[in-house]
């Protein structure tokens, strides 16, 4: 199969999805006076409780370490996040959501759920499972390129 003749433009589709996601998240950022990076950090920590270090956020979310660091510092100053040194390894710092951070993250999670519900609207379970398998294969191929 000649991949150049495929009608699906992955990059255009992902760009449109990203813009749509931004439109959904921007009101939450405005309401809580957060940057998108700060909201992304809160959501990552809320959605991934087993990955609670800044390096986890940077690696798994694909954010620049400097953006994560700045966001963590700002969130900490706003009382939404706390750094906690691991008692067994003093070099490891865990991040903990505080105060309204959980409310903000829950609102963000709800927006995410609605957004992805709209994206996948009309797809059957079989189609979603097939999509998942395709994305996993493509992800492995991308990882092999690295």
Task: Kindly indicate the confidence band of residue 50, based on its pLDDT and cuts at 50, 70 and 90.
Answer: very high
Residue 136 has pLDDT above 90, yes or no: yes
| Number of other residues whose CB lies within 10 A of the CB of residue 80 | 23
Task: Look at 7-16, 19-28, 79-88 and tell me which has the smallest mean pLDDT.
Answer: 7-16
H-state helical runs in the chain: 10-32, 36-47, 54-61, 65-77, 101-119, 125-145
pLDDT digits (tens, 9 = 90+) for 58-79: 999 999 999 999 999 999 999 9
Task: Kindly indicate the confidence band of residue 107, based on its pLDDT and cuts at 50, 70 and 90.
Answer: very high
Task: Kindly indicate the confidence band of residue 13, based on its pLDDT and cuts at 50, 70 and 90.
Answer: confident
Taking the CA of residue 121 as centre, how many other CA atoms within 13 Å lie in the half-sphere pointing to its CB? 6
Give the pLDDT confidence score for residue 1 in this predicted structure.
59
CA distance 43 to 110: 11
CA distance 15 to 13: 5
Mean pLDDT of the chain: 93
| Number of other residues whose CB lies within 10 A of the CB of residue 86 | 11
């Amino acid at each position: 199969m000649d991949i150049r003749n495929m009608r699906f433009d992955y990059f255009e589709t992902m760009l449109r999805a990203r813009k749509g996601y931004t439109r959904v998240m921007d009101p939450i950022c405005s309401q809580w006076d957060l940057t998108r990076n700060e909201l992304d950090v809160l959501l990552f920590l809320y959605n991934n409780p087993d990955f609670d270090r800044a390096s986890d956020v940077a690696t798994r979310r694909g954010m620049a370490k400097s953006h994560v660091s700045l966001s963590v510092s700002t969130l900490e100053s706003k009382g939404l996040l706390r750094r906690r040194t691991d008692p067994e390894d003093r070099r490891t710092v865990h991040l903990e959501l505080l105060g309204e951070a959980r409310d903000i993250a829950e609102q963000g999670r709800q927006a995410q759920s609605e957004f992805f519900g709209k994206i996948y609207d009309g797809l059957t379970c079989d189609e979603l499972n097939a999509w998942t398998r395709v994305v996993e294969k493509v992800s492995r191929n991308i990882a092999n390129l690295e």
